[in-house]
Amino acid sequence: MFINIKDLNKQFSNKEKVTVDILKNINVTIEKGEFVSILGPSGCGKSTLLNIVAGLTTTTAGVVTVGGKTITKPGKDRGMVFQQAALFPWLNVLDNVMFPLKKEMNNKKAKEKALHYLRMVQLSNYLSHYPHELSGGMQQRVAIARALAMDPEVLLMDEPFGALDEQTRSLLHDQLERIWIETKKTVLFVTHSITESIKLSDRILVMATRPGMVLEDIKVDIPRPRKKAEMVALEEHIMSFLKTEIDKVASEELKYDSNN
Ligand SMILES: Nc1ncnc2c1ncn2[C@@H]1O[C@H](COP(=O)(O)OP(=O)(O)OP(=O)(O)O)[C@@H](O)[C@H]1O
């Protein structure tokens, strides 16, 4: 196993200073090169789990190892892509990708590497464009190129396409799948979308909420590239038990609302 999440628990204090279980008894192993999605309703702890693997959040109990090393802080072995591309607005596309590389290598090498990954995300014609001149989907492709250029072993993606329209999303699914096949990275991908998780993943960790636990660990056996019609049955299967979790969140939010 490459990533090992063992007996993980995470608690946070809420506004009333009460300790709340956010993640409980998470035990997951992920093999090198696997594409694994974390799917679940809002607030079930998907980002918290990803942030713990990233080393951005500590655990309350349990251990996460990547390549045998216990995670205590962020590291170059793990690259992160967020819902917002978080590019430097004052740097053009090429310089945005080169920025972290320049700390690791000379300018010539950094430029070669940046160009390689910008070609991979099909942005070679936009090197001198600034972030505000790009669409949301293009910005995300720059962010993906920037993360990949650091050559991490694991790519951690937190709803990277969540803010994009359906069509752009679908194009980026195809691109990401191609890049994943080409680079053989291990990917941990947080999403709300059942369709997205089926389209992209080898495995889907479906999470329950309050506390966040892994309800099902589903292996997606549909040959790639996956067609809509082939995905429907699995979509319905996942929806059938995820609905209970979504309803749970909705009714708790309504309860909270009527008490305030
Ligand atoms: N730093 C924090 N302090 C206190 N509570 C937190 C903190 N971070 C997250 N939480 C709480 O932990 C729970 C899980 O949050 P998290 O963002 O991991 O969920 P999520 O499944 O990623 O949600 P979404 O899909 O809406 O992004 C939420 O109830 C959230 O309010």
Reduced to 3 states, what is the DSSP secondary structure of residue 204? strand
**pLDDT attached to residue 109:** 97
CB 138 within 8 A of CB 126: yes
Q: For the residues 26-31, what does the mean pLDDT come to?
A: 97
Type of residue numbered 33: G
pTM for the model stands at: 0.93
**Rounded to an integer, what distance in angstroms lies between the CA atom of residue 90 and that of residue 194?**
36
Q: For the residues 126-135, what does the mean pLDDT come to?
A: 97
CB 204 within 8 A of CB 36: yes
Q: Whose CA is nearest to atom 30 of ligand 1?
A: 43
Pocket test for ligand 1, best of 16, 46, 246 (most atoms within 8 A of CB): 46
79-122 pLDDT per residue, tens: 999 999 899 999 999 999 999 999 999 999 999 999 999 999 99
- 248 pLDDT tier (thresholds 50, 70, 90): confident
Percent of the chain past pLDDT 90, that is, above it, reads 83
Q: Is the CB of residue 44 below 6 angstroms from any atom belonging to ligand 1?
A: yes
Q: Please, which contacts does 106-115 make with residues 24 or more away whose CB atoms are closer than 8 Å?
A: 113/149, 114/145, 114/149
**Rounded to an integer, what distance in angstroms lies between the CA atom of residue 202 and that of residue 188?**
11
**pLDDT attached to residue 159:** 95
Q: Distance from the CA of 57 to the center of ligand 1, in angstroms?
A: 11
**pLDDT attached to residue 81:** 95
- 130 pLDDT tier (thresholds 50, 70, 90): very high
> Residue 123 pLDDT > 70, yes or no?
yes
Q: Encoding tokens for residue 152? A: 């991490």
- 210 pLDDT tier (thresholds 50, 70, 90): confident
Count other C-beta atoms under 10 Å from residue 34's C-beta.
18
**pLDDT attached to residue 103:** 94
**Rounded to an integer, what distance in angstroms lies between the CA atom of residue 122 and that of residue 137?**
12
Q: Distance from the CA of 59 to the center of ligand 1, in angstroms?
A: 14
Q: Is the CB of residue 22 below 6 angstroms from any atom belonging to ligand 1?
A: yes
Q: Whose CA is nearest to atom 17 of ligand 1?
A: 47
**Contact partners, residue 35, CB within 8 Å, separation at least 6:** 180, 186, 187, 189, 200, 201, 202, 203
42-58 pLDDT per residue, tens: 999 999 999 999 999 99
β-pairing, 78-81 vs 213-219, is unpaired
Reduced to 3 states, what is the DSSP secondary structure of residue 246? helix
Pocket test for ligand 1, best of 19, 22, 83, 210 (most atoms within 8 A of CB): 22
Residue 55 to residues 49, 50, 96, 99, 185: CA-CA distances in angstroms? 10, 9, 23, 22, 18
**Helices marked H in the chain — which ranges?**
46-54, 93-101, 107-120, 136-149, 166-183, 194-200, 228-258
Q: For the residues 133-155, what does the mean pLDDT come to?
A: 95
Q: Whose CA is nearest to atom 10 of ligand 1?
A: 12
Reduced to 3 states, what is the DSSP secondary structure of residue 75? coil
- 256 pLDDT tier (thresholds 50, 70, 90): low
Q: Distance from the CA of 188 to the center of ligand 1, in angstroms?
A: 17
165-198 pLDDT per residue, tens: 998 999 999 999 999 999 999 999 999 999 999 9
Nearest atom (ligand 1) to Cα of 51? 18
Which DSSP category does 133 fall into?
G
**pLDDT attached to residue 257:** 66
Query: Could you write out the three-class secondary structure of 76-127?
Result: CCEEEECCCCCCCCCCCHHHHHHHHHCCCCCHHHHHHHHHHHHHHCCCHHHC
**pLDDT attached to residue 116:** 96
> Residue 238 pLDDT > 90, yes or no?
yes
β-pairing, 61-66 vs 35-39, is unpaired
Nearest atom (ligand 1) to Cα of 45? 18
All domains of the chain in start order, with CATH = 1-77+154-234 (3.40.50.300), 85-151 (no CATH)
Q: For the residues 196-203, what does the mean pLDDT come to?
A: 97
CB 162 within 8 A of CB 192: yes
CB 186 within 8 A of CB 4: no
Q: For the residues 24-31, what does the mean pLDDT come to?
A: 96
**pLDDT attached to residue 29:** 97
- 255 pLDDT tier (thresholds 50, 70, 90): confident
Nearest atom (ligand 1) to Cα of 192? 25
Pocket test for ligand 1, best of 11, 15, 39, 47 (most atoms within 8 A of CB): 47
